[in-house]
């Protein structure tokens, strides 16, 4: 903290800086959410691959079915067959997210959960791509054009939505206080 006078009238007289770096509690939250997301996705993929034959479908309820497919690409079938490229881009994205989290986790209290979901889903799909050369997709909602996905994909989407909402809420300018009329003072 600097206190005193300055020859520059625009320079602040006192400056207090708060670190935005991740602390142990935030890293723990990130690890917990990412680990839970990865485990849940791996367990559901194991259950599907061991109980439903490839390309078979089992109706669950309403528009929801379990449809066992293998996907070598990413969302919407992009980069199908380019496993090495997808692995490289995914690994780079995870490293970038971890670096950003390390520097900025204290910006918003939901960052450990949001990044945990995105990183956990990304890691789970990355494990499958490296180990198997594809990911198992199985959640089929018949009302959407690109409808078959897995739990990791859901975690990634939910995490990104949470991040976007947190950014929008954080960037909103605070409302000025409401003026009230004091009837008794008149």
Residue 74 pLDDT > 90: no
pTM, two decimals, is: 0.79
Spell out the domain ranges in the chain. 26-167
Confidence at 153, pLDDT banded by 50, 70, 90: very high
Residues 27, 32, 36, 42, Cα dihedral to 10°: 50
pLDDT of amino acid 104: 84
Cβ-based neighbours of 182, under 8 Å, separated by 6 or more = none
Active site residues: 137, 153
């Amino acid at each position: 903290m600097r206190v005193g006078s300055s020859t520059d009238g625009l320079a602040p007289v006192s400056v207090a800086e708060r670190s935005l770096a991740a602390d142990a509690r935030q890293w723990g939250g990130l690890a917990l959410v990412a680990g839970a997301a990865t485990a849940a996705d791996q367990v559901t993929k194991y259950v599907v691959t061991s109980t439903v034959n490839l390309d078979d479908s089992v109706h669950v309820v309403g528009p929801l079915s379990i449809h066992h497919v293998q996907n070598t690409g990413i969302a919407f079938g992009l980069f199908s067959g380019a496993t090495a490229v997808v692995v490289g881009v995914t690994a780079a994205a995870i490293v970038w997210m971890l670096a950003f989290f390390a520097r900025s986790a204290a910006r918003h209290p939901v960052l450990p959960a949001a990044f945990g979901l995105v990183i956990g889903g990304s890691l789970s799909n990355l494990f499958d791509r490296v180990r198997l050369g594809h990911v198992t997709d199985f959640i089929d909602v018949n009302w959407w054009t690109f409808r078959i996905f897995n739990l990791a994909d859901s975690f990634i989407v939910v995490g990104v939505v949470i991040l976007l909402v947190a950014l929008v809420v954080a960037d909103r300018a605070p409302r000025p206080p409401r003026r009230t009329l004091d009837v008794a003072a008149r």
